[in-house]
Structure 1
Amino acid sequence: GYTFVGNGTFASAVKRLQHEAEVYSRLEPLQGHFVAACLGSIALHTPYPLAAATILHMLLMSWTGEAVKMNDNFPPGELIRLQERLRTHGVVHNDMRRANLLWNHERGHIMLIDFDLAEMLPVVRHRQVVRFSQKRKRHQRDHGTDQLLGRPRRLEGLISHDSAGYVV
């Protein structure tokens, strides 16, 4: 069998759970290795009533490990390396505390959960990629002049913002 975890929420917190699903999507290469594998999110057809609230939406994830105990020690620098891995995928966790750390016996290291407070950083493309794509575009269109302004293009390698606001 397969054990999974359902993280349920009530109406006023659905957006936070959807944000968490987006963060897990960004961290897809790390899922199952350093963070839980996200199986998806669902809106419940029939709400699940609890004493304090009614659960309307759930984020489904793989079972990741055991709760870290107060006396558990990690190898030196493991938390810093985990934060660096997240950052290379454009994510800052913003809630690094023991309650969000699980010990995975199979992998032999800690795994991180609970990304509802995480920040997704803008995607930055490397300058060489920008230069290459601009050269290809220039080669495919008229050679050497801007079609709208009629002047030579000299913008190769400059950093600019695309329409979605990402730095390119």
Structure 2
Amino acid sequence: MTGGPAATQPAASASHAPKDRWEDSPVDRDVLRAHEYCTQRCLLGLQRHGKLDEQCPNVERHRVNGSTHHPTTVEELVEQIQLGLDHNLERAMPIVGPGYGRPARPGGSGAPFKVVSPRFGYAVVGKGTLCCIWPRLEREADVYTQILMAAQGSAVPVFLGKINLQQPYELEGFGRVRHMLLMGYGGEEIGMVTTVDEWDKYNHQATSAHEIEDLGVMHKDLALRNVLWNAELGRVMIIDFEACELVLDRIAERPAWVPEELASRPSQQMSLGRFSIESRGHCRFHQVCCHYDPDATCPNRKYGLPP
């Protein structure tokens, strides 16, 4: 195994008080490995408080008392996943390296995990990252939820939310994963797909890129690792937006973190990095300093953290 959680687990936070102890159920890594991902249509239905997708491989796990609707909400699912991981980090399985099927390489900002909620069997992807990178990914989450909502389930995966791990997951070759973005499984790296010819790949990629551009997002890093073939939908999905640029006059509703004076400029295009949540190398959630060599300029006092 390429890394993993430490041996001891912290108690669940008070905000996640257990009700029926489902979170204490044992984890079988072979079962987790074989558990299929939920479909994009399934998660889109969950997001929109709609019906179950009867084609989702986990639909019978989702179904309660014969209902055709989802048994929970996106917000509750994120809380369930948070609680499950607080109790047992083995519920998260890296999709990287030997023993995990086809390798999915950790990118510069995140490493992919399969995450399954034991309560209703939802299986999604967690983009895990380090404390020092988290501010950039928090802003990426804002792009999904405040700008690309109309493209979710088509050009980009359905985005569910973000979590902070109580205990780090030690991932060899990447670091101490302590935060995750949760989203639907987008598919296989397009370069690994052999069932679609190259011309069709190009056209599908262009279609998805144009869809997000129309919403005001220029990706700027369409490397193969960020372009996925979704067999369920028969189209390309694009991921990883932390390096994107925003075309401000195309965005339908200005996010609060984009200054009005910038948004009012015609054809203004700006890097998302300009709007990153300020951190200066600190994680306020975990109260740690992320500097490699903190010195007298370390602003920990600003955050009430230890030097």
> Aligned match of 2:160 in 27, 39, 52?
39
> Aligned match of 1:78 in 200, 204, 224?
204
What letter matches 1:61 in structure 2?
A: M
Hey, what's the Cα distance between the residues in 2 that align with 1:17 and 1:107? 26
> Do the aligned residues in 1 keep the contact of 2:215 with 2:251 (CA within 8 Å)?
no
Hey, what's the Cα distance between the residues in 1 that align with 2:251 and 2:165? 38
TM normalised by structure 1 equals 0.69
| 1:148 equivalent in structure 2 | none
What letter matches 1:5 in structure 2?
A: V
User: Once the 2 structures are TM-superposed, how far is the Cα of residue 74 of structure 1 from its aligned partner?
Assistant: 4.4
Hey, what's the Cα distance between the residues in 2 that align with 1:124 and 1:104? 27
> Do the aligned residues in 1 keep the contact of 2:193 with 2:229 (CA within 8 Å)?
no
In the superposition, relative to structure 1, how do residues 80 and 50 fare at CA in structure 2: closer, same or farther (>3 Å)? closer
| 1:90 equivalent in structure 2 | 216
> Do the aligned residues in 2 keep the contact of 1:24 with 1:38 (CA within 8 Å)?
yes
| 2:181 equivalent in structure 1 | 59
Aligned residues: 133
The runs of 5 or more residues in structure 1 that have no matched partner are 127-161
User: Once the 2 structures are TM-superposed, how far is the Cα of residue 48 of structure 1 from its aligned partner?
Assistant: 2.1
User: Once the 2 structures are TM-superposed, how far is the Cα of residue 23 of structure 1 from its aligned partner?
Assistant: 1.6
In the superposition, relative to structure 1, how do residues 104 and 165 fare at CA in structure 2: closer, same or farther (>3 Å)? same
Task: Report the aligned-residue RMSD.
Answer: 2.4
Pair 1:11-2:131 in alignment = yes
What letter matches 2:189 in structure 1?
A: A
| 1:48 equivalent in structure 2 | 169
The runs of 5 or more residues in structure 2 that have no matched partner are 1-57, 59-121, 253-258, 266-307
Query: Is the partner of 2:140 in helix, strand or coil?
Result: helix
What letter matches 1:88 in structure 2?
A: D
In the superposition, relative to structure 1, how do residues 60 and 167 fare at CA in structure 2: closer, same or farther (>3 Å)? same
User: Once the 2 structures are TM-superposed, how far is the Cα of residue 67 of structure 1 from its aligned partner?
Assistant: 2.2
Query: Is the partner of 1:165 in helix, strand or coil?
Result: helix
Pair 1:121-2:247 in alignment = yes
In the superposition, relative to structure 1, how do residues 34 and 74 fare at CA in structure 2: closer, same or farther (>3 Å)? farther
CA deviation profile, 1:92-115 (whole Å, cap 9, x unmatched): 111112111111112111111111
CA deviation profile, 1:53-72 (whole Å, cap 9, x unmatched): 21121101111212222754
| 1:24 equivalent in structure 2 | 144
CA deviation profile, 1:133-160 (whole Å, cap 9, x unmatched): xxxxxxxxxxxxxxxxxxxxxxxxxxxx
> Do the aligned residues in 1 keep the contact of 2:214 with 2:250 (CA within 8 Å)?
no
In the superposition, relative to structure 1, how do residues 21 and 96 fare at CA in structure 2: closer, same or farther (>3 Å)? same
What letter matches 1:7 in structure 2?
A: K
Query: Is the partner of 1:41 in helix, strand or coil?
Result: strand
**Larger radius of gyration between Structure 1 and Structure 2:** 1
Query: Is the partner of 2:163 in helix, strand or coil?
Result: strand
Hey, what's the Cα distance between the residues in 2 that align with 1:13 and 1:165? 25
> Do the aligned residues in 2 keep the contact of 1:21 with 1:40 (CA within 8 Å)?
yes
In the superposition, relative to structure 1, how do residues 123 and 55 fare at CA in structure 2: closer, same or farther (>3 Å)? same
Using the aligned pairs only, state the percent identity: 33
> Do the aligned residues in 2 keep the contact of 1:124 with 1:166 (CA within 8 Å)?
no
